[in-house]
Structure 1
C-alpha cells in the first residue's frame, strides 16, 4: 500500500473514532506547488478547509528547516480563523534520506470543553508548551491567509506600525518573514514590498543585509 493511501485510511479511522469534532489533515510535501498542499481532510468544517487548500505554518516550517531538526509535536493549542480553540498534534512522515514527504495533523475542537475546564482539566492539559507563549497558533485556510498572518507577526515582533518603523526595523521584520518561509509563497514579494512601502529590489537587498552580517 502506498504511504498516502495508508495515511488516508488512518485519518478516516481516527475521524470515525473521535467524531465530528476531530479534524484530520494530510499535507503532501511531494507536490510541485505547496499552495495546494492539503491532500486529504476529514471533518474539514472545523477549519473550513478542503482538499487542495494551502499550507499551514507547519508546512512552511518543514519546507524551510532541516528535516533532522523537526520533531513531532503533540497536544499543543491552535485556533481557527473564527476563533475556535483546537488541541493539535503534528507528525512528520519521512521518506528517502529522511526527507519529509507528508505531514499528518490531528486537530480536536475543544472550544466547548473549555466551558467546563475544571471538569476535564486532565484532557485539556498541553504536553508540550508552545514556542509562542500561551497564544494558540492560527490555522490558515489558504496561502493568502497564511501570508497575512506572517506579516501580522512580523509587525507585532517590531511593536509598531510600518509607518513608524526605521530602516533597521523593516530589515528585521522582513528577515523574520524570510526565516518563517514567507517568500516560498508565490508572489509574496509583491505583497510584502507593497505592505512595507518599498520596492522589490529594496526588499531583497534587506534580506541580503542579514546574509552579509553572517
Structure 2
C-alpha cells in the first residue's frame, strides 16, 4: 500500500499515543505500533520491550490478516498470547483505519502475566490461615466485625464507600445499627467512628 500524507499523519499521532501508553503501563506491558502499509518492516515503535523484537521487524500473522481485509475485527481484546521465550501474555490489538476504511496501523499491548501470577500466588499464601488450628483469636472488640459488615452493606446499597457517606446517610446508618441492636455493642461508637474516619462526636451527633 502506498503511504499517503494522511497515513503519515495518523502514524505520527499514534506514535505519541504509544509512547504515552508505554510510560503509563511500564514495566509490565509492551506497547507496539505497527505500520500496516509496510508489513515487511511493520514495527514503527516498541515501548517496554518484552518480546525481544525491534523497530523494523515484520508484522505478525494477525497484522498481515488485518492489512489484507478491511472487514477484519478492529478491536481484539484480552486474547491469550505467548512471548518468544514461553512467557504467557494477555494481548489487545487495535486496528486503525484511514478515511477510506483501509487498515493502515495497529496498536498492540502485550501484558506479561508471569509477574502477576507469581504475585497472586504469593499473596494467596501470605493471606492464608490454618482453619484447623486449635486456637482462634480476635483483637477487635466483640461485635466489631458485625458492625463493620453492616456498614459495608449499607454503603454498598448506596453505591459508595463507608468513608464517603454524607451526613444524612450516616444518620440513616446509625438508625439501622440501632434497629439491629448493634449500637449496644461495647465501644460501638468508637468502632463506627474509626471505620468511617470521623470523630466520636460526629458519630454521637449522627445517632441523635
1:42 matched to 2:57? The reply is: no
Q: 1:53 aligns with which of 48, 51, 57?
A: 57
Per-residue CA deviation, residues 91-141 of structure 1 (Å, 9 max, x unaligned), is 000003210000110111111112244789xxxxxxxxxxxxxxxxxxxxx
**SS of the counterpart of 2:27?**
coil
Greater RCO, 1 or 2 (C-alpha within 8 Å, sep 6+): 1
Structure 2 gaps, min length 5:
1-7, 124-208
Q: Distance in 1 between matches of 2:72 and 2:60?
A: 18
Within 5 A, what are the aligned runs for 1:100-139? 100-117=103-120
Q: Distance in 2 between matches of 1:96 and 1:24?
A: 24
Within 5 A, what are the aligned runs for 1:81-160? 81-117=84-120
Cα distance change of structure 1 residues 69 and 51 upon mapping to structure 2, 3 Å threshold? closer
Shift of 1:16: 0.9
Match of 1:74 in 2: 77
What is the count of residue pairs matched by the alignment? 117
Runs of 4+ in structure 1 displaced over 4 angstroms? 116-120
Q: Distance in 1 between matches of 2:122 and 2:15?
A: 34
Shift of 1:63: 2.9
**SS of the counterpart of 1:23?**
strand
When normalised by structure 1's length, the TM-score is 0.50
Cα distance change of structure 1 residues 5 and 115 upon mapping to structure 2, 3 Å threshold? same
When normalised by structure 2's length, the TM-score is 0.51
